[in-house]
Chains A and B, each alone.
Chain A
Amino acid sequence: MGRIYWLTSYPKSGNTWFRAFLECLLGEDGEDLDLNALERVPSASDRMVLDRELGYESGDLSFEELERVLPEAFASVARKSRGAVFQKLHDSFRRNEGEVPLYSHEAVEGALYFIRNPLDVCVSYACHRSELTLDEVIRLMGDASHGLAATRWRQQLQIRQILGGWSSHVGSWTENDEIPVHVIRYEDMLDRPLAVFESAVRFLGLSHEERQIEGALNACSFERLRGLEERSGFRERPPGMDRFFRKGEVGSWRSVLTSDQVARIVADHRETMIKYGYLNESGELEF
């Protein structure tokens, strides 16, 4: 029986970077990273996997019906696996209509939660969703009903994920009392990569040595990922966005957001921002 670890985050918070890192770390020596085959960390929301587990199309079930069988589908994936099973998620930690948690059952070992300054998330998310303005993204980041693939009017390759607002997303995972969660700040991933990635690797129950972690970090540096995307494209890049690996910087909000936009984000997410060090006690912005 495999043990499931979720790699989870609000979008644009370092999840894909970590997936690329794990792909390098778990890959054979000399194996080239293929951005379009991040197969060691598939998406838990991928319909194809769920269709295989159900024996029929997940699209032939309503969202609510599908969420009722989802925990069993994940458990079945784990039963057929050995060792650690890594799955990427953007959904919030939530329950189905029958009050059964979607992401907590006997096969789940824990979750790595990636968090990033919501001011930078906003800028990056607005580039990712080119159809939205910054103001619309700010509104979505505070919208309890914000979801991905949540339309009932067309079939999408992913199943519905309900993100909710940024703060409630953070809280849903980090304050859940059912599965262990290891929180990683994007800013720390950039500032102290070796220590931060090593702590994540240990949380995932992996025993790789420091030099292997360092090697994987070099193989998936931001410049390298950007170069790979330039050469071979990246299938997870949404249409309308020039590149998925855009800047990856800390503090890019400073040159993009107006003071009014900053104030709205801070007002919506003050408590969570203080808790994770994005806002200090005196109300000053860090990063």
Chain B
Amino acid sequence: MLIGWRRFMWRYRAYSLIIESEIELPELSPAESSESVDLTIRIGEVPVVLQDPVAEGARFQAAPGVLLVVVDGVGRFLARDGETIIVDRESGTTDSDIRLFLLGTMLGGVLQQRGILTLHGSVVDSPQGAVAILGHSGAGKSTTAYALHERGFSLVSDDLCAVRLNDAGEPRVFGGYPQFKLWPDSLAAFELGEGDLRRVRPVLEKRAVPCLEEISTGARRLKRVFVLSESNSVESQFREIQGFAKIDRLKEQIYRRQFLMKEAQGKVFETLAALGGEIRMYEVLRPRGDIVLERFVDEIVSRF
């Protein structure tokens, strides 16, 4: 019997998935080698375009079970059936460049292909249950989550909130990986020096802030959801969202909703409906510009 050469594969766990990867992903928590693999990440050739895309934008194409994302100067990424990601990297790109898109948009795409509800936001844990801070890019999710983390609430995930139903049909949120991504203005607010922190990409000032404590990758009940947006008011405003409106607002917060294909929608919307029944949800208008973060976080914590 011939034994073929097999490339070394790293093993990780994130968002309830066991990931085997040809590319080292030091941000992720390691997994035991005995567990069965859900997602494989390989280096290989990726087509320039898909044959029959159902949805597309300037730099992505999606069809049932297939997602192609192109990042000029970095590489092309192809996710298939929620089980594989192939990375076709451009020469001269760095590992950080690849990892940023791999662990963000591509992992989000894979979770959606698997029918896992993926919301755009960060999650921390509290004694009452997990708390999600959702919102569009630039709304202040990571900054708020980091401030909560500094108050002693442990990080569950940053930027991506993955929710799936357990065997009893109850929605549960899963841990991501122990890292925040913060822009220098937020670093300054937390008195974190940029010098010691890795840029998320060499061309960006945004830094990777490792979370020094281990994060638990297990399932948690999500109890509170805050949807952040910026406003020009002087004070922050909180408004509780009631009833079915919660489901509509959660739908708006789906991560990369443009990737969500029809066949995955059933499971995602089922999870969404179940989640709507479990959470208290608040719409939060955060003053634009400098805010007193302490007071803002007090207001959030008082609603846990």
Contacts and interface: CB of A to CB of B under 8 A. Distances in A.
A61 B105 CA distance: 13
B16 interface: no
Interface in A27-59: 47-48, 51-59
Nearest to B108: A56
Interface stretch (A67-75, A205-213, A215-223): A67-75
Contacts, number: 97
Given A54-B58, A69-B72, A59 B138 contact: yes
Contacts of B206: 59, 155
B64 interface: no
Contact of B203 (A65, A72, A235, A240): A65
Contacts of B100: 60
A237 interface: yes
Size band of the interface chain B makes with A: 35 or more
Contacts of A156: 138
A60 B204 contact: yes
Contacts of A59: 137-138, 206
Nearest to A51: B137
B201 interface: yes
Nearest to A76: B58
Nearest to A156: B138
B238 interface: no
B152 interface: no
Interface in B95-139: 100-101, 104-105, 136-138
Given A60-B104, A60-B204, A75 B137 contact: no
Helix, strand, loop or mixed for chain B's interface? loop
Interface string A190-210: 000000000000000000000
A156 B138 CA distance: 6
A155 B72 contact: no
A153 B232 contact: no
Which interface residue of A153, A155, A237 has the most chain B CB atoms within 10 A? Answer: A155
A153 B104 contact: no
B137 A55 contact: no
Which interface residue of A54, A56, A73 has the most chain B CB atoms within 10 A? Answer: A56
Given A52-B258, A60-B204, A62-B203, A76 B57 contact: yes
A231 interface: no
A47 B137 contact: yes
Contacts of A153: 183-185, 205
Given A76-B58, A154-B186, 10 more contacts: A48-B136, A51-B136, A55-B259, A57-B105, A60-B200, A61-B71, A73-B57, A73-B58, A233-B233, A239-B288
Interface of A: 47-48, 51-62, 65, 68-69, 72-73, 75-76, 152-157, 233-235, 237-240
Can you list the 7 inter-chain pairs with the closest CB atoms, starting with the nearest? A55-B60, A154-B185, A53-B57, A56-B105, A62-B203, A76-B58, A73-B58
14 contacts: A47-B137, A47-B138, A54-B57, A59-B206, A60-B101, A60-B104, A61-B71, A65-B73, A68-B72, A75-B58, A76-B58, A153-B205, A154-B183, A157-B138
